[in-house]
Amino acid sequence: MKFISNHNHTDKGSNLKMLDCACKTIPLIDRAIELGYSGLSITDHSSISSHIEAIQYVKKIKEKGIDFVLGLGSEEYVVDDHIDVKENYQGGGITKFWHMIFIAKNELGYEQLRRIDSTAWGDNSFMSGKMRRTPIDKQQIQDIIGDEKGNLLCSTACLGGEMAQHVLNFLETKDPIYKEKVLTLINWMINTFGKENIAFEIQPSNQIEQIEYNKFLIKMGKAYKIPIIITNDTHYLKKEDRQTHGAFITSRDAEGRELADFYATTYLMSIDEMFDYVKDYISQKEFEEIIENSYNFSKDIEFIDMEHPTIIPERDLSQVKFEVKGIFKDWYDKYEGIRNFANSEYIQDKYLFFMIEEGFLAKKEEFNEINIARINWELNEIWKVSEQLNDRMSAYYNLVDYIVDLCWEIGFLGISRGCFTNDSLATTLNGLKTLDKVVIGDKVLSADGKFNNVLNTLKYDIKEPLVEIKYYRQGSSCEKNPSICTLDHEILIERNGQIKYEQAKNLVVTDFVLYPKAKEVIQTNVIEKRDTIKEDENYWYLPVQEIKLIEETETTVYDLTVENNHSYTINNMCVHNSVTGYYTLYLIDMHQMNPIEWNLPAYRHLNSSRVSFPKQHWGLMVNLARGCVA
């Protein structure tokens, strides 16, 4: 029998407000496949936090030929009036937050789900003691869905749902008012989502209340011709994990948190195990129909993949009056980048070019070959990047520049990246640290022999070629411990008597990498004298023994931003940090350091030839206090 589990929790999404779930996303999916499920839906408490991880993993599963349905949903707290709940909240279970399951059928449904979740966490939310409450009322849900119903699935959830509480109250009191409330709820579900998109949910359990509710709900399903589905309301993976789950959810508040009987059966069960729990009141035939209903309920939902090409946000320029001045017109014929921007059909390109002109004149820059060639190179790279992204990269700078103008004293994130693998050892004032362990405030050895402060740490996932550099390192075999970095990281070298920074990919075996000698402290990690090693009062010169290109690699790399000298020592060699400089951005006042004056390269980050560029995270940190871009 094909079965889809439509109510499951994960640690990433359901532990935001209190500890509730011991399931990690990937093991949850693996366990479902192991049990022979055709799919499952992730329905965390007022959260969609685990959806991206689930999407990425299921994509890999599908690539292996496994057909698996992934439902993206949430378990929301639905009330009649969120304002009344917020203003007149009473503790002790008096104010009710009814549980209800929503699952997106398609991208439009997922947009509705996001809006529901955002509304609950937005103005609706409030604190009651240590708990953040995130209610959403029925009218808000109707307003979000509007005329576009049929894109969300809805089920009645667990014993914490409104349906369950009204049914149990009716069974206990026989008061007809609860029947009316049940009918009102059913009509609301039908009118809001469409009858074909709702289901009544039962759960396997030995709990008396759950059994009585299951029995009554099955009768109601038949009466109203609404399908019955069965779920595990998964909070942990296997039956034997219950004790561990119990210890986990009480770890923050062992005395105040009760371990309800409800949790006894909230794990992923096989179909046979589910039947064992309900066989005393559900026949085999009825059970098989319920299993089929559970599959049919969500089998046709679309696989929602949030990955998409880079979309660059734009500043609205429709009301901005400007005109390109043509101050660089004498160079249009010679320089393609300048010509392209001056004559661009795109308003974002022209506005950026206009601001560059304005800044060039305001800063009284010289019309010399160095400045003009630098502007041309940067604009040419921006143009190439725009073509690769099929979007205007200039729009990004225009928008950030606008934000900088609004709040000049705030730091911003922009283009940056890491460059060394995490096993690389940085020389700090407190000894050697792997690069991933270096933190802001650490002092690292720079090219001038001083220990300078780390201003920022950078970490990025990449998929691109790397370079492996083997050279003599004190106390370390270069064969076993080469330095591995991205192709463009600048390394301080000596070549033919000249000391300079050179990109890693351009190093040759006749080069020496430079290891600074500390000026202010006693240096413990010193280099022994050898015939192949040179030294002077500032550096040890370590001979490069081999340069090897590593094919496209998917890994994580790291880098630092360092004050003053803008360099640090990694694996006994000095490298340039992530400070970079765009002359064009200096001209439009996005930062205050002239990169030509300080010899800061732009190609380290503004590089259209980088293979993995479209997949990089865009981030530019504009440190306005120090006037540098990192």
- What are the residue ranges spanned by the domains of the chain? 4-298, 329-406, 420-579
pLDDT band at 620 (very low <50, low <70, confident <90, very high): very low
Q: Mapping DSSP to helix (H, G, I), strand (E, B) and coil, where does residue 422 land?
A: coil
pLDDT of 607: 56
pLDDT band at 585 (very low <50, low <70, confident <90, very high): confident
Asked whether the beta carbons of 429 and 521 are under 8 A apart, the reply is yes
Helix, strand and coil percent figures for the chain, each rounded to 5: 35, 25, 40
Among residues 67, 32, 72, which one has the least CA distance to residue 55? 72
Both tokens of 261, joined, read 């009987």
Q: What is the pLDDT of residues 119-143, one digit of tens each?
A: 999 989 999 988 899 999 999 999 9
State the fold for domain 420-579. Endonuclease - Pi-scei; Chain A, domain 1 (2.170.16)
Both tokens of 178, joined, read 């609860």
pLDDT band at 403 (very low <50, low <70, confident <90, very high): confident
Q: What is the pLDDT of residues 517-541, one digit of tens each?
A: 998 776 666 666 666 688 999 999 9
Residue type, position 32, single letter: A
pLDDT of 625: 28
Residue type, position 472, single letter: Y
Comparing 401 with 265, which gets the higher pLDDT? 265
Rounded to an integer, what distance in angstroms lies between the CA atom of residue 57 and that of residue 40?
13
Asked whether the beta carbons of 577 and 562 are under 8 A apart, the reply is yes
Q: What is the pLDDT of residues 57-91, one digit of tens each?
A: 999 999 999 999 999 999 999 999 999 999 999 98
pLDDT of 601: 59
Q: What is the pLDDT of residues 277-326, one digit of tens each?
A: 999 999 999 999 999 999 999 999 999 998 888 788 899 999 999 999 99
pLDDT of 561: 83
pLDDT of 410: 45
Q: What percentage of the chain exceeds 70 in pLDDT?
A: 87
Which residues, including other chains, have CB under 8 Å from residue 596's CB and lie 6 or more apart?
370, 371, 374, 581, 583
Which residues, including other chains, have CB under 8 Å from residue 548's CB and lie 6 or more apart?
467, 468, 470, 482
What's the average model confidence in pLDDT over 369-392?
A: 94
What's the average model confidence in pLDDT over 180-191?
A: 97
pLDDT of 525: 61
pLDDT at 593 over 80: no
Q: H/E element holding 274? A: helix 271-278
Q: What is the CATH number of domain 4-298?
A: 3.20.20.140
What's the average model confidence in pLDDT over 542-566?
A: 87
Among residues 342, 328, 344, which one has the least CA distance to residue 386? 344
Rounded to an integer, what distance in angstroms lies between the CA atom of residue 447 and that of residue 445?
7
| Residue entry with tokens 């081999």 | 546
Q: Mapping DSSP to helix (H, G, I), strand (E, B) and coil, where does residue 358 land?
A: helix
Both tokens of 352, joined, read 């950026």
| Residue entry with tokens 């010289």 | 366
| Residue entry with tokens 């210890």 | 247
Q: How many CB atoms lie within 10 A of CB 278?
A: 22
Tell me the pTM: 0.64
What's the average model confidence in pLDDT over 444-462?
A: 87
Among 152-161, 395-404, 416-425, name the most confident range: 152-161
Q: What is the pLDDT of residues 465-505, one digit of tens each?
A: 899 999 876 555 455 578 999 888 889 999 999 999 898 99
pLDDT of 130: 83
Asked whether the beta carbons of 77 and 133 are under 8 A apart, the reply is yes
Stretch among 243-247, 273-277, 323-327, 609-613 having the lowest mean pLDDT? 609-613
Strand partners, 468: 484, 548
What does the DSSP 8-state code read for residue 377?
H
The rounded mean pLDDT for the chain is 88
| Residue entry with tokens 């292996």 | 64
Residue count (the chain): 630
